[in-house]
Amino acid sequence: MIGRGYRRELGWVLATALGLLGLGWGVGRPAAFLLLGAAAYLGWQLWHLERLRRWLERRPGVELRPTFGLWHDVFVTVERLRRKNRDRKKRLRRALRGFERAASAAPDGAVILREGGEIVWMNPMAEELLGLRRAQDIGQPIANLVRSPAFADYVSAGRFDRPLDLDSPADSGRHLVVRIAPYDDQRSLLLVRDVTRVIQLEQVRRDFIANVSHELRTPLTVLVGYLETMTDDDTMPAQYERPLRQMSEQAERMSRIVEDLLRLSRMENEPGGAPRNVVKVGDLLRRLADDLRDLSAGRHAISVQTDVESTLLGDEAEIYSAFSNIAVNAVHYTPLGGDIQVRFLVDEDGGGRFEVSDSGVGIDAEHLPRLTERFYRVDKARSREVGGTGLGLAIVKHVLMRHDGHLEVTSTPGEGSTFTCCFPAERVVTSIVDAGAA
C-alpha cells in the first residue's frame, strides 16, 4: 500500500517538473531547467541521507527533527523502530538480571561456556564447587582451570549424553556430578551438583547390608545344619515332621537371600567395571540349557541357540549368574507346556544381545520400570511359592552395569515376556561359525 508521504512527494516532484518545463519552454531551454531541477532534488536527497546517518550515530536519547514528504515518513518510522528496540533491550536486560538472580540462588553450580570452552558467566555455587573465581576466570578455558584429566577428556570428547562423576577441585571430600548441555551452536551450559551426601548415605546402606548379611550367614548355617540333622533323625516324632520341613525351607530361603545380598554388595564395592576375561558364549549357553532342562523336568519346550560362535569380554561367573537368573525366572513363571526361547544374537553394530522369551503370564506395564529394584515383586504370593529372593533382577542389573550393558524388558500380560541383556560392541568378539542350536 502506497503511503501518504510517498504520494505527497510524488505530487510535489511532478508539479515541480511541470513548472520547470514551463519556465524552460518560455526561455527556450527546457532540458537545462529539468537537469537543474534533478540536480537540486538529488542534493535534497543526499542532505537527508547525511542527516539520517549522523542521527543514527548519536546516542539513543537524541530525536530526529521532522521534515516533510517521504523523508518525514522515513524519520518517523526509524524513530519508532529505534524506540521499540530500546524498549526490547530494557526488557531483555531485566530478564537477564532476573535469570542471574535466579541462577545465583540455585543450589547447583552453573557455568555458561562458549564453543571453545571459554567461560562466559558463572554463578556463586559454581565458584564454590569448582574452585573458580569470577573476576579472574571469565574468558578462560574451563579445562585449564578444573585440574582433572577425566574432566578434560569429558570436555574434549564432546559426548555429553552421560554425566561425569568428579571430585571437587576445591575440596577433595566433596563429590560432584557434572553435565554439559549445549543449547545453541556456540554456547553450552555446564551444571554441577554436589552429591556428597547421597554417596555417603549409599555407602552407609551398602556397609549395613554387607555387615548384616555377613553376621547372619553363620547363625543361619548353624540353624540349617541342626534342622537337617533333626529332619534325618528317624526317631523324631511324626508331629514334628511338617514344622521341621517348613523351618528348613525358610532357613534355606534366608540363606539364599543372604548369599544374594553379599553378591550384590561385592559387586557394588568393587571399583571400575568387570574384568575383560574371555567368555565363550556357546559353552555358557550349553551349560545353561542343561540346567534349565533339569529344572523344567520336561514341563516346558526349551530351545537355546546362537547364530555365531561369540565371545564376551568379562567375568564368566557374573555373566552366567545374570543369564541364569533371567532364564530360571522364565521357567518359574511359564505355565506347564509353555515355550521358552534362549538365544544370543549380534547386532549390525557389533553389540551383543542375550534374549530370553517365554509364553508365560506376562507383566503389566506399570511394573516394568521397577523390576530391577531389590525385593520388588510383581506377584508376592507366586514369588514365595517358587522360592524367589526378590534380588535376581537386581543382580542382573549390576552385572550388566559392570559390563557396560543394560537390561531391556518387553511384556504383554497373558502372552509372555522377553528379557534382553544388551552388551556394547567393545565387549563382543565374533567369529562367524554356524554354531546351530545348543
Which residues, at least 6 apart from 217, have a Cβ–Cβ distance to it below 8 Å? 255, 258, 262
Does residue 92 lie within any of the structural domains?
yes
Q: Residue 33: in which H helix or E strand, if any?
A: helix 30-57
Decide if pLDDT at 371 tops 70: yes
pLDDT higher at 71 or 148: 148
* Cβ–Cβ under 8 Å, residues 383 and 377: yes
Does residue 318 lie within any of the structural domains?
yes
Give the pLDDT of residue 243.
84
Domain boundary among 194, 220, 252: 194
Give the pLDDT of residue 308.
61
Helices (H), 359-423: 380-386, 392-402
Lowest mean pLDDT among 74-78, 89-93, 268-272: 268-272
Task: Say which residue the cell 530526529 belongs to.
Answer: 64
Q: Report the pLDDT averaged over residues 80-90.
A: 84
- Residue-wise pLDDT tens digits, 258-317: 777 777 777 776 766 778 888 888 888 888 888 888 888 888 888 888 766 788 999 898
Lowest mean pLDDT among 15-19, 158-162, 239-243, 430-434: 430-434
Decide if pLDDT at 4 tops 90: no
Give the pLDDT of residue 434.
38
The answer on 210 and 170 residing in a single domain is no
Which residue from 353, 354, 398, 333 is spatially nearest to 372, judged by alpha carbons? Answer: 398
The answer on 289 and 414 residing in a single domain is yes
The answer on 250 and 329 residing in a single domain is no
Does residue 256 lie within any of the structural domains?
yes
Count up the domains in the chain and report the number. Answer: 4
CATH of the domain at 149: 3.30.450.20
DSSP3 helix / strand / coil % (the chain, rounded to 5): 55, 20, 25
Give the pLDDT of residue 437.
41
The answer on 179 and 127 residing in a single domain is yes
Torsion of CA 81, 87, 91, 96, to 10 degrees: 80
Q: Report the pLDDT averaged over residues 60-66.
A: 60
Does residue 199 lie within any of the structural domains?
no
The answer on 92 and 27 residing in a single domain is yes
Percent of the chain with pLDDT over 90: 7
pLDDT higher at 135 or 379: 135
The answer on 247 and 339 residing in a single domain is no
**Gyration radius from the chain CA atoms:** 39
pLDDT averaged over every residue in the chain:
81
Q: Report the pLDDT averaged over residues 87-91.
A: 86
* Measured distance CA(133)–CA(145) in Å, rounded: 10
Domain boundary among 194, 221, 249: 194
Does residue 43 lie within any of the structural domains?
yes
Does residue 47 lie within any of the structural domains?
yes
Percent of the chain with pLDDT over 70: 90
Strand pairing report for 339-346 and 301-306: parallel
The answer on 62 and 139 residing in a single domain is no
The answer on 179 and 114 residing in a single domain is yes
pLDDT higher at 252 or 178: 178
Which residue from 66, 64, 22, 13 is spatially nearest to 40, judged by alpha carbons? Answer: 13
* Measured distance CA(70)–CA(2) in Å, rounded: 11
* Measured distance CA(382)–CA(260) in Å, rounded: 19
Which range of 30-44, 116-130, 424-438 scores highest in mean pLDDT? It is 116-130
The answer on 407 and 290 residing in a single domain is yes
The answer on 187 and 312 residing in a single domain is no
- Residue-wise pLDDT tens digits, 125-154: 888 888 888 888 888 888 888 888 888 888
Lowest mean pLDDT among 153-162, 173-182, 343-352: 153-162
Decide if pLDDT at 206 tops 50: yes
pLDDT higher at 242 or 96: 242
CA distances from 230 to 217, 249, 280 (A): 20, 14, 44
Q: Helix, strand, or coil here: 384? A: helix
Give the pLDDT of residue 183.
83
The answer on 347 and 237 residing in a single domain is no
Decide if pLDDT at 113 tops 70: yes
The answer on 352 and 227 residing in a single domain is no
Number of Cβ atoms within 10 Å of the Cβ of 84:
10
* Cβ–Cβ under 8 Å, residues 429 and 310: yes
pLDDT category of residue 438 using cuts at 50, 70 and 90: very low
State the residue range of the domain holding 142: 106-194
CATH of the domain at 392: 3.30.565.10
Does residue 436 lie within any of the structural domains?
no
Does residue 437 lie within any of the structural domains?
no
- Residue-wise pLDDT tens digits, 190-205: 999 999 888 888 777 7
Count CA within 13 A, CB hemisphere, residue 253.
Answer: 14
Give the pLDDT of residue 148.
84
Going by the DSSP 8-state scheme, the letter that residue 63 receives in this structure is: P
Confidence (pTM):
0.55
Domain boundary among 226, 251, 269: 269
Start-to-end Cα distance in the chain: 82
